[in-house]
Chains A and B, each alone.
Chain A
Amino acid sequence: MKGFEGCPGSRTIDRREEQGEEEATAKVKSQLRQWPIQLHLISPQAPYYQGADVLLVADCVAYALGGFHSEYLKGKSLAIACPKLDEGQEEYTEKIKSWLEDAKVNTLTVMTMEVPCCMGLLSLAQEALAASSRKVPLKHITVGLQGDIQQEEWVKG
């Protein structure tokens, strides 16, 4: 690994030499069952959110996590966002709250990268859950920069 120390979210990491040992030989089927997916673009009351198990995923996760489609997205509904760069995040809180109260989602799972700035996405979900009259189980999954699962746990809303 080469790079400089600084913000962990934008630190340069070069792993080219570690890559290429395992390659998928078969075509991997997408598990995405909806459109749109960006949190600003979605309607929280869209049919695919009704009573669903929803994944709220930081933008970088699907690129880092090799098995994202088959192991995490399968059977779930999705929205993606970047808690570091996206603007208008107060709207995000309202949309998450609408998932809980209007779409009556079954569970909410927040997936973030291990970098500290990603934790903002979990905070948004917790804020929305605290403000919501309806509670659901909230899970947080932390993905490492090398695509490993660092932590997976149920958290307080």
Chain B
Amino acid sequence: MEKFLNSEIKAIIRQYPPVEKVLTDFGIGCGPCSVGSCLLKDIVAIHNLSAEAEQDLLTRIAGIIHPGQPIKLPARQASRPAKTKESRLSPPMQMLGVEHVLIKRLLALIPQLIATMDLTSAPGRQRILEAVDFIRSYADRYHHAKEEDILFKYFDEKTDILKVMRTDHESARGHVRAILVAVERQERDQVAEHLNAYYELLQQHIKKEDEILYPWMDRQLSDSQVGQLFAQFNEANKALSQAPQKYQALIIRLEQAA
């Protein structure tokens, strides 16, 4: 079992597909993850399950990996912070969550943007370019940059989950670059393919952050660090102070046109 706790989750699921269903039963959505490089032991720790749920989860996984064999489960790490009584995210994490709401409104528009895409006309191309501008300026420069340049610095950046988040950001940037090239060449299928890929990627990415990453980070941060983060986020927002209003207006306009 120890060997599997130190194995990447994607490799475990590939070798033992029923493990994915067990994880899902405990609210752990690693199955669709685009990277899957997190170690099983880190996944168990990061989800902050109760001691009983953790034992239950590991017992079921061990039953799949070593069916019919006696199971010796690892001891729960005593150093792990106890489940906090705090129910709400801290203000800086709430700030990031609020930004997700606007990004999700853009994501919700993507299927319609693809269905009605017309790259042969300038207004048609402009519509896609406006969505790309939102992705680059708001989702990436305003939101992801706060995570990469400020938030992640409070943690060990070699942690698997942070590597996964950075990889997601890079993949998203790759899709945006591909969309821009395809719009220029008026390649409708390519634009659709990369918009769809961005849609799928960001949906999963935001879900991971809202449900797993931010609550986990909040449990690690001291009150003092929460205050520092809040001040740094506000400072970063000042540099792009027009962005929320500008891009909210854009989303409203795109929603009304849809």
Chain A interface residues toward B at CB < 8 A: 53, 75, 105-107, 109, 135-139, 149, 151-155
Contact with A along B58-100 (1 / 0, CB 8 A): 0000000000000000000000000011111111101000000
Does B220 reach chain A (CB closer than 8 Å)? no
Smallest distance from the beta carbon of A35 to chain B beta carbons, Å? 22
Q: Which residues of the partner chain B approach A138 to less than 8 Å between Cβ atoms?
A: 91
Does B227 reach chain A (CB closer than 8 Å)?
A: yes
Taken together as a complex, chains A and B put the C-alpha atoms of A137 and B87 apart, in Å, by: 15
- A137's partner among B84, B85, B227 (CB-CB below 8 A) is B227
Task: Determine whether the beta carbon of B226 is less than 8 Å from that of A137.
Answer: yes
A136 and B223 form a contact (CB under 8 A): no
Task: Determine the chain A residues whose CB is within 8 A of the CB of B90 once the complex forms.
Answer: 137, 154
Whether A152 pairs with B227 at a CB distance below 8 angstroms is no
Which chain B residues border A139 with CB–CB below 8 Å?
223
Determine whether B228 belongs to the interface, using a CB cutoff of 8 Å to chain A: yes
Report the bound CA distance from A48 to B84 in whole Å.
Answer: 29
- Please state if A106 and B91 are interface contacts (CB–CB under 8 Å): no
| Nearest 10 A/B pairs, CB to CB | A106-B227, A107-B227, A137-B91, A152-B85, A154-B90, A53-B224, A153-B86, A153-B88, A154-B88, A137-B230
Q: Which of B128-183 contact A (CB under 8 A)?
A: none
B226 to chain A: which residues have CB within 8 Å?
Answer: 107, 137, 154
Cβ contacts under 8 Å, B223 to chain A: 53, 107, 109, 137, 139
User: How does the 8 Å CB contact mask read for B197-229 relative to A, with 1 for contact and 0 for none?
Assistant: 000000000000000000000000001101110
B11, CB-defined interface residue at 8 Å: no
Residue B53 is within 8 A (CB to CB) of chain A in the complex: no
| Residues of chain A contacted by B88 (CB below 8 angstroms) | 153-155
Cα distance A25–B84 in the bound complex, in angstroms: 29
